[in-house]
């Protein structure tokens, strides 16, 4: 059994050389990153009762970044002191991530794996599932594998797209066809998940929702912001019981 969708992996492998080009195909993710990092670090601080000492406040915490791509989230987490493992089913993505982390002088454990393939003795404090669940096969196996890899009382962040008319207009017609932020065919609207569907899958694997927030793009400021509007992009912060 596998969660790997070979067609989806190939899409991102074809773009692997552009991961760190802020004006390239992954420009939307570079724009997205600050609000994601702000939200994630805030929830981690609250949950683990951390104090920000010299900016290294994640020291002592282990993070698994699933579908890490070129390392756009793995690197900031490592800079904040976390022990980071980044996994991706695309070997090309992992090669790009390894080269960039070496240039950045960061120690990150990058592996060409999917979560169900990961054979580790120790589990993680935090798992990041950012813009990945809409690209995998067998979501039940995927969430089950995440649960196996997360410590009790650990945190998981799952960010994806809602399956609504608004998301079809904005994320596919707008982002792919009109603005050309993403290559056409990056997303399949039928694979988007409604928040209640995702929460049901999480609950089944002993996750409890701590918080859920929408992420909205402001075209006037060209910036992303947190919102209570879950109609397009949203992120669920959950803990393992």
What is the tens place of the pLDDT at every residue in 192-228?
Answer: 999 999 999 999 999 999 999 999 988 778 889 999 9
Encode pLDDT of 103-155 as tens digits.
Answer: 999 999 999 999 999 988 789 999 999 999 999 989 999 999 999 999 999 99
pLDDT for residue 38 is more than 70: yes
Residue 212 near residue 197, CB atoms below 8 Å = no
Beta strands per DSSP E along the chain: 62-66, 83-87, 109-111, 124-130, 150-161, 207-218, 223-227, 233-240
**Cβ(212)–Cβ(234) below 8 Å:** yes
Does some domain include residue 1?
no
Domain range spanning residue 136? 6-240
pTM more than 0.85: yes
Length of the chain: 241
In tens, the pLDDT along 174-200 reads: 877 887 777 788 889 999 999 999 999
Q: Are the C-beta atoms of residues 173 and 42 closer than 8 Å to each other?
A: no
Residue pair 63/83 in contact (Cβ under 8 Å)? The answer is yes
* Per-residue pLDDT tens digits for 43-86: 999 999 997 766 788 999 999 999 999 999 999 999 999 999 99
- Is 143 inside any structural domain? yes
- Does any domain span residue 66? yes
What's the CATH number where 133 sits? 3.40.50.150
Based on the structure, what is the number of domains in the chain?
Answer: 1
- Of 78, 79, 98, the closest CA to residue 87 belongs to 98
């Amino acid at each position: 059994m596998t969660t790997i969708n070979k067609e989806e992996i190939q899409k991102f492998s074809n773009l692997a050389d552009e991961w760190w080009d802020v004006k390239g195909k992954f420009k939307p993710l570079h724009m997205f990153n600050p609000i994601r990092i702000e939200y994630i670090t805030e929830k981690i601080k609250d949950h683990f009762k951390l104090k920000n000492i010299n900016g290294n406040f994640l020291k002592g915490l282990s993070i698994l970044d699933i579908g890490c791509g070129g390392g756009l989230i793995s690197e900031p987490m490592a800079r904040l002191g976390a022990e980071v493992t980044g996994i991706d089913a695309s070997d090309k993505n992992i090669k790009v991530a390894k080269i960039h982390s070496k240039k950045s002088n960061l120690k990150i454990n990058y592996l060409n794996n999917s979560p169900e393939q990961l054979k580790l003795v120790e589990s993680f404090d935090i798992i990041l599932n950012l813009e990945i669940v809409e690209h995998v096969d067998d979501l039940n196996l995927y969430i089950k594998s995440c649960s196996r890899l997360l410590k009790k009382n650990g945190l998981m962040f799952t960010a994806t797209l809602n399956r609504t008319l608004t998301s079809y207009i904005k994320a596919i017609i707008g982002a792919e066809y009109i603005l050309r932020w993403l290559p056409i065919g990056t997303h399949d609207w039928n694979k988007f998940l409604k928040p209640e569907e995702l929460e049901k899958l999480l609950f089944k694997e002993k996750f409890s929702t701590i918080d859920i927030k929408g992420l909205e793009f402001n075209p006037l400021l060209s910036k992303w912001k947190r919102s209570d509007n879950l109609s397009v992009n949203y992120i669920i912060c959950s803990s393992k019981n």
